[in-house]
Amino acid sequence: MPLAQLFLELGAVILALAFVGRAAGRLGITPIPLYLLAGIGLGAFMSLGDAPTEFIHIGAEIGAVLLLFTLGLEYTSQELRDNLRANRQVGLLDLGLNFTPGLLAGFALGFPPLAAVLLGGVTYLTSSGIASKVLGDLGRLGNRETPVILSVCVLEDVAMAAYLPVVAALLIGGTLIAIEINLLVALAAFALAFFLALRYGHVLSRLMNVQSNEALLLSVFGLVLVVAGVADLLKVSAAIGAFLVGIALSGEVAERARGLIEPLRDLFAAVFFVFFGLQLDLSSVPGVLLPALGLAAVTSATKFMTGWWGAARAGVQTRGRFRAGTTLIARGEFSILIAGLGLELVPTLGPLAAVYVLLTAILGPVLARFDAQLAPLFDRKLREVRA
């Protein structure tokens, strides 16, 4: 592709995102739903070449990684350890309430058992990238319900460390020994990364704390990408690998790194969300719209219940419980990845997951934005039902 065409197409996409971001600011909402719709519009009316599409794809992966890294910077290792210990029951409830609807829907749609298990994974996982973006955009990183949201996302990725190796081995027809080896490698990698982040984070902070902002930016950005790459190779979420780097950094270096990384994060995060919209083939929507709507309705309610109950256990009041529930609704990049594993089993699994993810990724941030108006109404209805 000629360089001029590459620059023109990428420039057009980024300018479109700029206008969308300004519109979201005028409306007082997070730009995530508008970025997603912009991606659909760009995919429908523009035919991007292979090079711009590949750049946007890579940028989307970097965006997910940076979103989780900056979220990790907000917490200390001790806070993370305490929150995970306190929210284990919430993690079990999350698994039961949100994996089961996808599994049952797969059987109801006539999917093979393994494809139904994949659909359960699609509906189970909250998008940690979208959740962290919502928390940042709406100024809720320091809220009392945020540790609950964070714990749910991390516990889901622990579950994925067991789920993905097993499913991948079954898809390629692996033996029981191969499945066990893959599972042990993934869990050991996650445990080692978690231990190093909690135990030796202060050493990493000292090593990274250089005077030059340029050197610090390059060091932090490079380390985040390396750790994310190693995590992905070991079948652990790349985004959670980056999150653990953020947890490991503390003190002055964390504050400086946050300020330096945030502009990069915002750019690539916008690309991350528009990529979802670009992936959606509009011609495939009619055939999967009804089951996607049904799944979105059911699992939005179950994910909301997870967040509400978890925040209630932590002593959070009604509005905070509502925020926790709605922030967890959105599904995202990992759900698309899981669906992609089963395309040879059921070709409609990909379009179904894409439409489902888009619906939840729009609904969750919108509900989270209007918590002040909706939480009292929900609380009133809840009291009426109890009475």
156 is a domain residue: yes
pLDDT of residue 162 exceeding 90:
no
pLDDT of residue 338 exceeding 90:
no
Please state the separation of Cα 311 from the chain's center in Å.
Answer: 20
Closest CA to 86 of 250, 316, 335: 316
Instruction: Please list the alpha-helical segments (H only) found in the chain.
Output: 3-27, 32-45, 50-72, 77-86, 88-108, 113-124, 128-137, 146-171, 176-199, 201-208, 213-233, 238-248, 251-279, 285-313, 318-327, 333-341, 349-369, 371-386
Q: What are the two backbone dihedrals, phi and then psi, of residue 46, each rounded to the nearest 5 degrees?
A: -125, 140
176 is a domain residue: yes
- Give the pLDDT confidence score for residue 138 in this predicted structure: 87
Averaged confidence pLDDT in the chain: 84
- Polymer length of the chain: 387
- Give the pLDDT confidence score for residue 194 in this predicted structure: 73
Domain that includes residue 265, residue range:
32-326+335-382
Total structural domains in the chain?
A: 1
pLDDT digits (tens, 9 = 90+) for 276-297: 777 777 788 888 999 999 999 9
pLDDT of residue 308 exceeding 90:
yes
pLDDT digits (tens, 9 = 90+) for 24-47: 777 766 787 788 788 888 777 777
**CATH number, domain containing residue 69:** 1.20.1530.20
- Give the pLDDT confidence score for residue 100 in this predicted structure: 96
For residue 46, what are its two tokens? 């523009």
15 is a domain residue: no
21 is a domain residue: no
Query: Residue 266: pLDDT band by 50, 70, 90 thresholds?
Result: confident
3 is a domain residue: no
**pTM for the complete prediction?**
0.75
pLDDT of residue 17 exceeding 70:
yes
CA end-to-end distance (rounded Å), the chain: 66
316 is a domain residue: yes
pLDDT digits (tens, 9 = 90+) for 211-251: 899 999 999 999 999 988 988 887 666 777 887 888 788 77
For residue 147, what are its two tokens? 């540790």
- Give the pLDDT confidence score for residue 93 in this predicted structure: 94
Closest CA to 363 of 73, 14, 37: 37
3-class SS of residue 75:
coil
C-alpha neighbours within 13 Å on the C-beta side of residue 119: 34
pLDDT of residue 71 exceeding 80:
no
Higher-confidence residue: 84 or 354? 354
Query: Residue 174: pLDDT band by 50, 70, 90 thresholds?
Result: low
- Give the pLDDT confidence score for residue 293 in this predicted structure: 96
Of all residues in the chain, what percent carry a pLDDT higher than 90?
A: 27
23 is a domain residue: no
26 is a domain residue: no
